[in-house]
Amino acid sequence: MEYVSPGGEGDAELLAEENEELIEEVERLKRELFESERRAAEMEARIREEVADEMSELLREMEGSYHARLEAEVGAARSAAHGATDSSKAEAEDLRRALSAAEAELSEAKAEIGAIQRANEENEHALVDSFKSLLEEETTQLKANAAMEKETLELQLERQRQENEGLTVRLRRMKEATVATLRRYQANLSPSRPVGSPLALTKLLEDSEKELVSSVEMAQGQPEPGPLHHPSLAEDFCDLAAEPEEAKENQPVAKKRGKKARRQRKPTGEAKVAQPTPVARRTRAGRRACAAIEKVN
C-alpha cells in the first residue's frame, strides 16, 4: 500500500496557474507596446497636419495683404499719372521710386515668408525627431521592463519546479518508508510467528509505531504524526491485529478447553495480567489488538 499525499495535485494546479499568468502577462505587455506605437503614429500624423495647415494659412494671409497694398499703390500711381498729365518729371520719378520701394518691400516680404517657412519646416522636423526619440526610449523601456519581468517570472517558475521536485522525492521516500514499515508490521503480527505474552504484543505495537515515526521524520525532515493515526492505514492494521484470533480458532479442541479452564481460574495476587498501554488504544487497529490480547488471556 502506498501513501498518497493530497497536496501533489494542488501543487501541479498551482504551477499550471502560474504558467497561465506568465503567458497572460507577456500578451498584455505586447498589446501595450502595440497600442503605444499606434498612438505615436497617430500623434505624429496629427502634428504634421496641424503645422502644415497653420503655415499655409499664415502664408495666404501675408501674401493677400502685400498684394492688396501693392495694388492700392499701383492704382494710386496710375490714377495720379492719368489724372495729372501736366505733372512734372519729379512727380513721375517719385512714383517710380514708390513703385520700386513697393517691389523691394514685396521681395523682402517674400524672402521673410520663405525664411519663416524654412524655420517652421526645421521646427517640424525637430519636433518629429524628438517625438520619435521619445517614442523609441519609451519602447525600449517597455521592452526592458517586459524582459526583466519575464526573467523574474521564469526564475520563480524554475524555483517552484525545483521545490516541486524536492517535494516529489520526499513523498516517494515517505511512501517507501511507509510500505517497508507495513511489511515489517505484517511480518511481526503473522500467525506463524509466536506473539508471546500480552505485554510483549503491546511492546511490539509501541516499537513499530516509534520506528515508523522515525522513518517518516528522516524522509520529511520534520516531525509527523504516527502511522496508526492515519485513516488510510487503519484498515490494514485492523486486518493485522485480527490474525491472532483466527490462529486461535485453528488450535486443537483439547488445547482450547485447557485455555478455557485456565480462564475460569481465579488469578492470584502475584500473577497479574499486564494491561495494554494507552498508545496501543489510540486507533481502531490498536483497540482490536488489545481486545485480541484480552481474549487470549
- Listed by start position, the domains of the chain span 7-168, 189-266+273-296
The CATH fold assigned to 7-168 is: Helix Hairpins (1.10.287)
| CA dist., res. 121 & res. 280, Å (int) | 97
0.85 exceeded by pTM: no
| CA dist., res. 223 & res. 15, Å (int) | 27
| CA dist., res. 167 & res. 8, Å (int) | 9
| CA dist., res. 133 & res. 171, Å (int) | 56
| CA dist., res. 274 & res. 280, Å (int) | 13
What is the biggest distance separating any 2 CA atoms in the chain, rounded to whole angstroms? Answer: 174
Q: Is the pLDDT of residue 296 over 70?
A: no
Q: pLDDT class for 248, splitting at 50, 70, 90?
A: very low
Q: How much is the pLDDT for 19?
A: 87
Q: How much is the pLDDT for 63?
A: 84
Which three cell numbers, joined as nine digits, stand for 62? 501675408
pLDDT in tens, 58-108: 888 888 888 888 888 887 877 766 665 656 677 778 888 888 888 888 888
Q: Is the pLDDT of residue 276 over 70?
A: no
